[in-house]
């Protein structure tokens, strides 16, 4: 066998072979054309001299396999290129699945896309039980399909309902769920993983079989399962915007999971997906997300900032939820307010959220132990990061930061979560104004991935880098922005929501306004969004950002005057029942309404770029997509403007 760059084949005297994937020159394993070619050479060798069993594992500390090489994917220039790429993986994994000797994937760390499909082609799978082990088929998030056998094998191994949920959402399994569903045959701690893999690979144990009903759903009941899945997808995504999920359902239900078998003229074919602008734009969004993640990495100059203790001041909805999220991500958090009675509701909300998320009483208890009520504020003395999230009053914030500065550690990050006050005004209370930065979260904290890291006129560059490192530490996406009214996200959302409410003033039904935005590709209509944010907040934001002489929408003012503030009071533009809006029939949506709604948003994004609120158009797109949910299939507002200019 010729010398390999990316794989190592090691044989034990007893006949077991270990195949170690260690991609040369990379910190992460990706399945490039070169790596796949070498895998073929290994299979040739093993065909000549078969082992007793084969264990495939990673040689990287970073994880198992991150999937296909995205760089190669971006170079696809035609449907023929896309088919060739799919054919390569489909044939290789079918070959792996057909070998006579037992095969086992030993999965430690991330296992994504083509890596998950490789594991599916093995007879057995062992998952290493640690937090970093996550298993997913996230292709749909790039506008593509799991074409290397995922659509064929995953439903056969865990059943079609769970498999479709994974493939259509891109959500990852942790190790315990992977074991429960049957994806992993064993879930073991790191210290015994090699022995567990060795024993299972040579055990002769027959592969797991699905229960009878799941086998029916993979067979005679396929059509019913597919129709139900299509209904669920249709509630979230339209085929003209996102063709990939519909293609996954069709390929599984009608073509045995073989993407290459779909006729080229069908809207669910590989040719149609390859030609769709959605695919190109979602790959762009992937790179935008990677760029945001990069802001939280060490530059090697200021040293690594690894915060362990967060102190949050203000236990209202925003402060309490920031504290709960940080505790969930592993930090010790002290939560301060005027008394324990003000802190208690935040702890209760956190306990309910932890129970729903973790589904393990022991883990819930451990996580709650990291969230410490602190009415006297002693935690500010030891904290690595202090975030202020009290009410929007300049004098109160100035006094608070003057007090914090006196007791906080010299290297601690001092941050405000303000959305309406100038950092420069708050910072005047500090002996060293350079210490203050903005760390601006969005509501609901648990769902919104973006956090704006705000640079005031005096903010220190090291403090800003540390703030971004903190944001990544808690698994959010940091967006650097300059201090300006509304920063980026609120500055573009406010005129969009105001325009929507003016449409209602003109007699257009709220349902029609929201439907126009949904048809454009927004995740939520602007009227329902205003109700969700709170109509009192919408009034305040409108006054702050609209400028002198701009009259707020009439209906908005009437509702606020009557105390109808949206979802939180049970009534706003809509009436709410158990938190859900009670909407009437949409009726006719006026022509051009969607374009009218998004025009002020697009103009505001352009202004933010021109004024330097964000460094460039790419970051503006990233911020508006991850901060507002702006139609990802467009590639972002600036990308949309470019495509439609």
Q: Are residues 466 and 534 located together in one domain of the fold?
A: no
Residues 6+ apart with CB under 8 A from 213: none
The pLDDT value recorded for residue 546 is 66
The whole-model pTM stands at 0.91
Helix/strand number for the chain, H first, E second: 27, 19
Q: Are residues 422 and 496 located together in one domain of the fold?
A: no
Q: What is the pLDDT of residues 42-90, one digit of tens each?
A: 999 999 999 999 999 999 988 999 999 998 888 888 889 999 999 999 9
Q: Is residue 51 part of a domain?
A: yes
What's the rounded Cα separation, in Å, for the pair 427 and 253? Answer: 60
Q: Could you say which of 450, 468, 483 is where a domain stops? A: 483
pLDDT surpassing 60 at residue 302: no
Q: Are residues 57 and 133 located together in one domain of the fold?
A: yes
Beta bridge partners of 31: 68
Q: Are residues 224 and 332 located together in one domain of the fold?
A: no
What's the rounded Cα separation, in Å, for the pair 177 and 358? Answer: 11
Q: Could you say which of 224, 259, 275 is where a domain stops? A: 275
Q: Are residues 265 and 320 located together in one domain of the fold?
A: no
pLDDT surpassing 70 at residue 283: yes
The pLDDT value recorded for residue 97 is 98
Q: What is the CATH number of the domain that holds 527?
A: 1.10.1040.50
Residue among 29, 58, 419, 483 flagged as catalytic: 419
Sign of CA dihedral 4, 145, 154, 288: positive
637 falls in which pLDDT band (50, 70, 90)?
A: very high
DSSP letters along 249-287, please? HHHHHHHTT-GGGS-TTSTTSHHHHHH-HHHHHHHHHHH
pLDDT surpassing 90 at residue 103: yes
Which residue reads 């979802």 in tokens?
Answer: 567
Q: Are residues 116 and 157 located together in one domain of the fold?
A: yes
Please tell me the total count of domains within the chain: 3
pLDDT surpassing 70 at residue 1: no
Cis preceding linkage at 444, omega within 30: yes
Q: Are residues 421 and 530 located together in one domain of the fold?
A: no
430 falls in which pLDDT band (50, 70, 90)?
A: very high
Q: Are residues 267 and 322 located together in one domain of the fold?
A: no
490 is catalytic: yes
Q: What is the CATH number of the domain that holds 478?
A: 3.40.50.720
Q: What is the pLDDT of residues 244-256, one digit of tens each?
A: 999 999 999 999 9
314 falls in which pLDDT band (50, 70, 90)?
A: very high
Q: Which of 471, 469, 440, 437 shows the shortest CA–CA distance to 456?
A: 437
Which residue reads 């090697």 in tokens?
Answer: 300
Residue among 139, 452, 455, 511 flagged as catalytic: 452
Q: Are residues 90 and 141 located together in one domain of the fold?
A: yes
400 falls in which pLDDT band (50, 70, 90)?
A: very high
Residue among 440, 528, 618, 639 flagged as catalytic: 440
Q: Which domain holds residue 598?
A: 490-613
Mean pLDDT computed over every residue of the chain? 94
% residues pLDDT > 90 (the chain): 89
* 3-class secondary structure per residue, 547-589: CCCCCCCHHHHHHHHCCCCEHHHCECCCEEECCEEECCCCCCC
Higher pLDDT pick, 420 / 289: 289
pLDDT surpassing 70 at residue 300: no
C-alpha 492 chain-centroid distance: 21
Beta bridge partners of 487: none
Q: Is residue 622 part of a domain?
A: no
What's the rounded Cα separation, in Å, for the pair 542 and 78? Answer: 47
Residues 6+ apart with CB under 8 A from 332: 308, 309, 310, 370, 372
Going by their DSSP bridges, the two strands 436-440 and 413-416 should be labelled as parallel
Q: What is the CATH number of the domain that holds 234?
A: 3.90.226.10
The pLDDT value recorded for residue 44 is 97
Q: Is residue 457 part of a domain?
A: yes
Q: Are residues 528 and 557 located together in one domain of the fold?
A: yes
What integer is the mean pLDDT of 149-177?
Answer: 96
The pLDDT value recorded for residue 297 is 85
459 is catalytic: no
Q: Is residue 282 part of a domain?
A: no
CA atoms within 13 A on the CB side of 643: 12
Q: Could you say which of 233, 256, 275 is where a domain stops? A: 275
Residue among 29, 490, 515, 618 flagged as catalytic: 490
C-alpha distances (whole Å) from 367 to each of 32, 60, 121, 445, 638 are 40, 30, 37, 17, 41
Q: If you compute the radius of gyration of the chain from its CA atoms, what whole number of angstroms results?
A: 27
Question: In a 10 Å sphere around its CB, with 0-12 CB exposed, 13-18 middle and 19+ buried, how is residue 94 labelled?
Answer: middle
Q: What is the pLDDT of residues 525-548, one digit of tens each?
A: 999 999 998 999 888 888 777 666
Q: Are residues 63 and 130 located together in one domain of the fold?
A: yes
440 is catalytic: yes
Q: Is residue 302 part of a domain?
A: no
The pLDDT value recorded for residue 548 is 60
Q: Is residue 293 part of a domain?
A: no
452 is catalytic: yes
């Amino acid at each position: 066998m010729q010398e390999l760059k990316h794989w190592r084949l090691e044989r034990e005297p007893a006949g077991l072979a270990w195949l170690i994937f260690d991609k040369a020159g990379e910190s992460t394993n990706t399945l490039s054309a070169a790596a796949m070619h070498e895998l073929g050479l290994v299979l040739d060798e093993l065909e000549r001299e078969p082992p007793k069993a084969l264990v495939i594992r990673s040689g990287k500390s970073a994880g198992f396999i991150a999937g296909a090489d995205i760089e190669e994917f971006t170079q696809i220039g035609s449907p023929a290129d896309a088919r060739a790429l799919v054919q390569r993986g489909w044939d290789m994994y079918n070959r792996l699945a057909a070998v006579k000797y037992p095969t086992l994937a030993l999965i430690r760390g991330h296992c994504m896309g083509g890596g998950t499909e490789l594991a599916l082609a093995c007879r057995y799978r062992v998952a290493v039980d640690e937090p970093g082990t996550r298993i997913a088929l996230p292709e749909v998030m790039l506008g593509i399909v799991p074409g290397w056998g995922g659509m064929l094998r995953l439903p056969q191994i865990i059943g079609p309902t769970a498999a479709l949920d994974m493939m259509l959402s891109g959500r990852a399994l942790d190790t315990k769920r992977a074991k429960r569903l049957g994806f992993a045959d064993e879930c073991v701690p790191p210290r015994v993983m090699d022995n567990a893999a060795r024993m299972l690979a040579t055990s002769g144990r027959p592969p797991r079989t699905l229960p009878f009903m799941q086998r029916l759903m993979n067979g005679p009941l396929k059509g019913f399962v597919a129709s139900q899945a299509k209904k669920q997808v249709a509630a979230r995504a339209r085929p003209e915007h996102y063709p990939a999920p519909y293609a996954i359902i069709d390929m599984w239900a009608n073509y045995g999971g073989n993407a290459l078998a779909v006729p080229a003229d069908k809207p669910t074919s590989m040719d149609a997906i390859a030609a769709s602008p959605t695919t190109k734009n979602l790959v762009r969004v992937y790179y935008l997300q990677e760029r945001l993640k990069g802001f939280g990495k060490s530059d090697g100059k200021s040293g690594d900032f690894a915060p362990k203790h967060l102190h949050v001041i203000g236990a209202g909805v925003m402060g309490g939820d920031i504290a709960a999220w940080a505790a969930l991500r592993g930090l010790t958090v002290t939560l301060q307010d005027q008394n324990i009675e003000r802190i208690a509701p935040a702890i209760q909300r956190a306990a309910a959220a932890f129970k729903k998320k973790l589904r393990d009483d022991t883990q819930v208890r451990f996580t709650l132990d990291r969230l410490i009520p602190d009415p006297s504020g002693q935690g500010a003395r030891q904290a690595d990061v202090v975030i202020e999230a009290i009410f929007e009053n300049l004098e109160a914030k100035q006094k608070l930061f003057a007090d914090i500065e006196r007791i906080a550690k010299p290297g601690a990050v001092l941050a405000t979560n303000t959305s309406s006050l100038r950092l420069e005004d708050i910072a005047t209370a500090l002996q060293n104004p350079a210490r203050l930065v903005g760390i601006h979260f969005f509501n609901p904290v648990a769902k919104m991935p973006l956090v704006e890291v705000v640079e005031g006129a005096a903010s220190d560059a090291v403090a800003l880098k540390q703030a971004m490192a903190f944001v990544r530490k808690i698994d959010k996406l940091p967006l650097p922005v300059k201090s300006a009214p509304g920063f980026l996200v609120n500055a573009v959302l406010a005129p969009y929501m105001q325009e929507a409410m003016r449409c209602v003033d003109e007699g257009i039904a709220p349902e029609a306004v929201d439907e126009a935005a949904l048809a454009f590709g927004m995740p939520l209509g602007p009227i329902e969004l205003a109700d969700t944010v709170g109509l009192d907040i919408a009034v305040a934001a409108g006054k702050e950002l609209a400028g002198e002489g701009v009259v707020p929408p009439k209906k908005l003012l009437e509702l606020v005057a009557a105390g109808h503030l949206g979802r939180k009071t049970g009534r706003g533009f809509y009436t709410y029942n158990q938190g859900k809006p009670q909407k009437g029939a949409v009726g006719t949506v006026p022509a051009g309404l969607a374009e009218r709604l998004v025009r002020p948003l697009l103009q505001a994004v352009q202004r933010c770029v021109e004024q330097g609120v964000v460094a460039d158009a790419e970051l503006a797109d990233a911020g508006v997509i991850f901060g507002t949910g702006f139609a990802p299939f467009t590639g972002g507002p600036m990308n949309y403007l470019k495509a439609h200019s």
